[in-house]
Amino acid sequence: MVQYQRLIIHHAKKAERFRLAGEKGGGFLKSANQKILALLFLALLSCCLVMAPHIFSLSSTFSLLDPLGRESGGLGPYEHFIAPLCSGISNGTICCDRTNSRSDICIMKGDVRTHSASSSVFLFTSAKTDRKPLLKPEKIKPYTRKWETSVMDTVQELNLISQDEKASGFRHVCDVYHDLPAVFFSTGGYTGNVYHEFNDGIIPLFITSQHFEKKVVFVIVEYHDWWMMKYGDIVSQLSDYPPVDFGRDLRTHCFKEAIVGLRIHDELTVNSSLMPGSKTIVDFRDLLDRSYWPRIHGLIQDDEEHKAADRRASESLSFSPVSDSLEIDKKVQEHGLKKPKLVILSRNGSRAILNENILVELAEELGFMVEILKPDRTAELAKIYRSLNSSDVMIGVHGAAMTHFLFLKPETVFIQIIPIGTDWAAETYYGVPAKKLGLKYIPYKIMPKESTLYDEYGGNDPIIRDPESVNRRGWQFTKKIYLDRQNVKLDLRRFRKLLSRAYDRSVRRITPPSF
């Protein structure tokens, strides 16, 4: 610090001599502009001298970034947001932040090595260089529902162990060395349900790792091939490197540091105040765009080739296979307009719309082009994304499939049909997050007679009259009655008003200004 001040004083004196010499010599600094520039230079140096103590007093908090955007010391830019309790940890350290109610995060810095046979991750130290006692072992389950004992009991636990390499008498030699950080997480738990796959896994993975700018290796605990098939497009936008299957890859993988566990903010959302760069759920949706558009472009090309083949086939026939509705669409498009597209997420089994076919007719009568979408576990997400990304309105009954609202463009109308007994869950898990994404969210709370439970129990039963009293009995009652045994039959005269509003909004949004 003293040297820095002396350096500034030295250059300030030099600049002053330069100014005086110029005035005496008459060969330069003659003009007013030149004199002004010299004075400004002196003022800048003076400012630096005054501010230097304040700037350097922050040196314990901020330091220079390395090429990955991580700091060489002090408060790491990701540590502050991911694990505040572990901010600024040094090499040879294991630190766990367990203060968050939703998930634990551990950070390991130094010589990090995997040992899958013992479900362990070692941090090797050398007494010669570190000269400090070994840290106590830590245990962590790298999944984001730590408060939910029933599911956490099914998640594999990792041992994080500080090991003196020489004193131990054994070495885990690096079979694969990565000059990169690692992020460890589990795809166990509730994986298999699209809501949990995004809420508990994919969005937390974005939150935890996106600041590495793809220079990171993912180590997946409880790895599933189908999960990588389904979400590989997204994973490839977060990392340039193939993931490591922790359970089956018995080689010792070595890293310079590791984050074990994922940070989660809230239901299907990204809290900008907890993110570097103030990123939001809109940034996550931009990631989905980058993930799926290459595949979507391929699908569009395939469709064009099929259409060309159909045209060639129809030209050889004496009649045209084009339907009247398609002819109408063609005429509308010739006038610079298009029909707004409405997608209905259709359910089989519980919470199905029993009069869905009549709903389709009503929507078409109002002027919508209607598409029925039935997403399931095996559906290719790029195809679902393509369908919803091009839609103007999405309708669906509360359930995990509503997670696909993430695929809608901002300003799209999202109508969630809310069965009896699901008000809180519908608003918390989908309504609030949808509004944060910038969607026009419209909840449609069904009347008792629109539920099949009304036919089963009658209007005076507490199940119909006081759903909250049933929900207070516990999740198992809610699931058994309101989620697993309830279907809906929409009052289409009532629903028509809402659908008309959605149509008017959609037409205004897609109509060219010159029309």
Q: Which of 216, 245, 279 is the last residue of a domain?
A: 279
Phi-psi map region of 332: left, alpha, beta (phi>0 left; psi -120 to 50 alpha)? alpha
Do residues 402 and 448 both lie within one domain?
yes
Q: Which of 244, 279, 314 is the last residue of a domain?
A: 279
Given this model, what pLDDT does residue 324 score?
37
Distance CA 216, CA 179 (A): 9
Verdict on whether the full-model pTM lies above 0.75: yes
Do residues 220 and 359 both lie within one domain?
no
Do residues 96 and 14 both lie within one domain?
no
Q: Is residue 308 part of a domain?
A: no
**Other C-beta atoms within 10 Å of 264: how many?**
25
Given this model, what pLDDT does residue 510 score?
75
Do residues 46 and 112 both lie within one domain?
no
In angstroms, the Cα distances linking 113 to 78, 96, 174, 320, 450 are 21, 17, 7, 67, 58
Distance CA 444, CA 191 (A): 29
Range of the domain at 332: 325-510
Q: Is residue 68 part of a domain?
A: no
Dump the DSSP string for 370-417: EEEE---TTS-HHHHHHHHHT-SEEEEESSGGGGGGGGSPTT-EEEEE
Given this model, what pLDDT does residue 279 score?
95
Do residues 505 and 394 both lie within one domain?
yes
Do residues 43 and 94 both lie within one domain?
no
> Residue 159 corresponds to which tokens in the numbers above?
């041992």
Do residues 39 and 106 both lie within one domain?
no
Q: Is residue 498 part of a domain?
A: yes
Total domains in the chain come to 3
Q: Is residue 251 part of a domain?
A: yes
**Count of H helices and E strands in the chain?**
20, 15
Q: Is residue 291 part of a domain?
A: no
Q: Give helix 32-57 / helix 2-25 axis angle, nearest 10°.
A: 170
Q: Which of 245, 261, 279 is the last residue of a domain?
A: 279
Helices (H), 138-189: 149-152, 165-168
Do residues 46 and 89 both lie within one domain?
no
Do residues 351 and 437 both lie within one domain?
yes
Instruction: Give the SS3 label for residue 121.
Output: strand
Do residues 243 and 376 both lie within one domain?
no
Q: Is residue 49 part of a domain?
A: yes
Do residues 345 and 451 both lie within one domain?
yes
Block means of pLDDT (10 residues each) for the chain, length 515 residues? Answer: 41 46 43 52 47 36 31 53 88 94 96 96 74 77 97 97 72 88 97 96 96 96 96 97 97 96 97 93 96 87 65 51 40 62 95 97 97 89 95 97 97 98 97 97 98 96 96 94 97 97 90 54
Given this model, what pLDDT does residue 132 score?
56
Could you say which DSSP state residue 353 is in? B
Do residues 345 and 452 both lie within one domain?
yes
